[in-house]
Amino acid sequence: MKFFVIKKRHLCFVLCAILVLVGLGVYFGLTAQAYQPNLSPTVVIDAGHGGTDGGAVGRKTGITESEINLQYAQTLKEVLQNLGINVVMTRTDLNGLYSPFASNKKKDDMEKRKRIIEESGADLVVSVHMNAFPLSSSRGAQVFYGLNNQRGEALAASVQTRLQDVSAYAKEGVKEGDFYILNCTSLPGILVEFGFLSNAEEEALLVSEDYRKQMCDAVALGILNFYEM
């Protein structure tokens, strides 16, 4: 599409500028000066869980996935907005999106998220999550994409590569995932599991503000790389 080509040409300069910054030692220190598109894309950021659905729970700190997902979603929002990218959030507080009168709160919650995506005019979707597993040694960030969504797969690969740059335990490859939030739309979308709350060492990193910023910067750079494809 013509509009997409315009964005690609404009972002050529952007990527070069970022690579120069990295070469100077500014490791993922993304700022508005590095990226100021006139025709800015729009990204939906979905903070997974919320309300009565707390998700996974931190083994040491007891933090809920719902809470930490929102922290990461808000940080990613700030990073992208500083780059001139429009952001639409599905969830902005600790509450779920469901109606208190809904007979099936999970279904109502997910349908509300779908409606936000459909009405956003977005280019892509990023759903923020944390992982957990009975085996406490399991750790590492993992990016999923929607079923049979080639653009989603490309976005996932771009983001996974950048996560590997900042985390030694980030997974090697991306995975196709049967998640409603990714498959309710034809947009390229990813679900990012930033790490395992069931791993005490990784949990300590995940709750760190500095680590959260590093990981969100990496996701943002992966998104910029995707727009260059």
What domains appear along the chain, each with residue ranges and CATH number? Answer: 2-227 (3.40.630.40)
Residue 31 scores a pLDDT above 80: no
Q: How many angstroms separate the CA atoms of 104 and 120, rounded?
A: 25
Under 8 Å CB-to-CB from 167, ≥6 apart: which residues?
140, 141, 195, 215, 218
CB distance 16 to 97 below 8 Å: no
Q: Residue 38: pLDDT above 50? A: no
How sure is the predictor about 22, in pLDDT bands with cuts at 50, 70 and 90? very low
| 28 pLDDT above the threshold of 70 | no
78 residue type, one letter: E
Q: What's residue 116's pLDDT?
A: 98
* Mean pLDDT of the chain, nearest integer: 88
pLDDT at 119 over 80: yes
CA distance 108 to 224: 32
Single pTM value for the model = 0.85
Whole-number pLDDT of residue 228? 86
Q: For residue 1, with 0-12 CB atoms within 10 Å meaning exposed, 13-18 middle and 19 or more buried, which class applies? A: exposed
Q: Distance between alpha carbon 106 and the CA centroid of its chain, in Å?
A: 21
Q: Please say whether the beta carbons of 183 and 147 come within 8 A.
A: yes
State residue 7's pLDDT score: 44
pLDDT for res 10: 43
- Confidence class for position 15, pLDDT limits 50, 70, 90: very low
For the segment 121-143, the average pLDDT, to the nearest whole number, is 97
pLDDT surpassing 60 at residue 56 = yes
Checking if the pLDDT of 11 tops 70, the result is no
Residue 4 clears pLDDT 80, i.e. is over it? no
pLDDT in tens, 155-208: 999 999 999 999 999 999 999 999 999 999 999 999 999 999 999 999 999 999
- Look at residue 124 in the predicted model and tell me its pLDDT: 97
Q: Which residue has the tokens 């950021």?
A: 45
